[in-house]
Amino acid sequence: MSVLIIAEAGVNHNGDKEKAFALIDAAASAGADAVKFQTFDATRLASAHAPKAAYQKKSTDEFESQLTMLKKLELPRSWHAELQVYARQKGIEFISTAFDPDSLSFLVDLGIPLFKVPSGELTNGPLLWQFARTGKPLILSTGMATLSEVEQGLAVVAHALAYSREPADMDEVWRCWGDRGTRQRLQGHVTLLHCTSQYPTPLGEVNLKAMDTLASAFGLDVGYSDHTEGCLIPVAAVARGARVIEKHFTLDRALPGPDHKASLEPDELKQMVSDIRSLEQALGDSCKAPQVSEWDTRKAARQQVIAAREIATGAVFTREDLSTARCGHGLPPTALWGLVGQRSARSYQAGEIIE
């Protein structure tokens, strides 16, 4: 199965409907599998006193609150169906991340095929439980999280898959997690995305090896949500085993807004998708055997046993009688040792193939 490539439009529409449509165009043209937006009610997501992250202050008004910024970046619900239909016409899946229960219910009614849980909500047990209760495939982003927090999130998901009522407390969640059968329900249903929640992410803080840790600890498919500059790291993540890649993109990095600076522009997104698809071909099937294109070279490059000097019929082969050279056919070099001490069935000239 091919790597799922999610082009993260996020809030890079800047509250402009035409930009939202243009982002779908760019994602589809790049060859991404899905284009993802964010669905939230700013007043439910942030309080009036919530501060901005440092990276947000650099690319937006540093004196406005997080709430004021988010209000400008909401994707109106009235746009969703229209964008979804347009994406379908363009041959790309429309998905969106919910940040509150009402937004989640809205997206369920819209028929979103899978849900990506953002890093900030991994520890939001009640919302995470509701994500899991949708029954849709889940992609859990793990930015900022410890391994124990990832396990806690998975335990909440497992409980939601096993019960139709919310847990009484976390003790109940952990008891459920202790059941192996319950944990196995996550297989093929949940993908964990390694992520570093910094925009842009310094290369020294990418830590792609954490993907191995997640895969080993929980036995689930893993992927990577990237916030680095450029296309190198997502491609490297695929080489390391990522089954899902999520990457922010924008129409123009110079646009105002919190996420544009760490996003790819359309041509770069297209190149990333192309590089990943090329890499998938190069990864192969793990079977170590000659490739079809190698057989002709194999015939020309490998050596066979030859007579190192003139050999008479009936002579006993010595090591000095035998050598190897490229002949195109004949006995492999390893057969040379077994010939020593045997009698020659016929005579050979120097350089002749031993048969």
* Spatial distance between the Cα atoms of 138 and 114, rounded to a whole number of angstroms: 6
Residues 6+ apart with CB under 8 A from 223: 3, 4, 139, 191, 192, 193, 194, 211, 237, 242, 243, 244, 245, 246
Q: What is the DSSP letter of 208?
A: T
pLDDT tens digit sequence for 102-151:
999 999 999 999 999 999 999 999 999 999 999 999 999 999 999 999 99
pLDDT tens digit sequence for 305-330:
999 999 999 999 999 999 999 999 99
Q: What percent of the chain has pLDDT over 70?
A: 97
Say how many C-beta atoms besides its own lie within 10 A of residue 59's C-beta. Answer: 17
At 252, the pLDDT band (50, 70, 90 cuts) reads very high
* For range 296-300, the mean pLDDT: 97
| pLDDT of res. 67 | 81
Reply yes or no on whether the pLDDT at 78 is more than 90.
Answer: yes
- For 304, list phi and psi in degrees, rounded to 5: -130, 170
| pLDDT of res. 258 | 84
**0.85 exceeded by pTM:** yes
Domains delineated in the chain? 4-283 (3.20.20.70), 293-353 (3.90.1210.10)
